[in-house]
Amino acid sequence: MTIQLNTPTLACSSCVNTVTAAIKNVDANAEVQANTKTKLIVVETQASESAIREALINVGYPAA
State the Rg of the chain over Cα. 10
Q: For residues 15-40, give the mean pLDDT.
A: 97
DSSP 4-58: EEE-TT--SHHHHHHHHHHHHHH-TT-EEEEETTTTEEEEE-SS-HHHHHHHHHH
Read off the CATH number of the domain in which 28 is found.
Answer: 3.30.70.100
Q: Residue 12 domain-assigned? A: yes
- Banded model confidence at residue 22, pLDDT cuts 50, 70, 90: very high
d(CA 35, CA 39): 6
Q: What phi, psi does 40 have (nearest 5°)?
A: -105, 135
Counting the structural domains of the chain, the total is: 1
Q: Quote the domain boundaries for residue 44.
A: 2-58
Q: Residue 63 domain-assigned? A: no
Task: Give the model confidence (pLDDT) of 28-47 as tens digits.
Answer: 999 999 999 999 999 999 99
Q: Residue 46 domain-assigned? A: yes
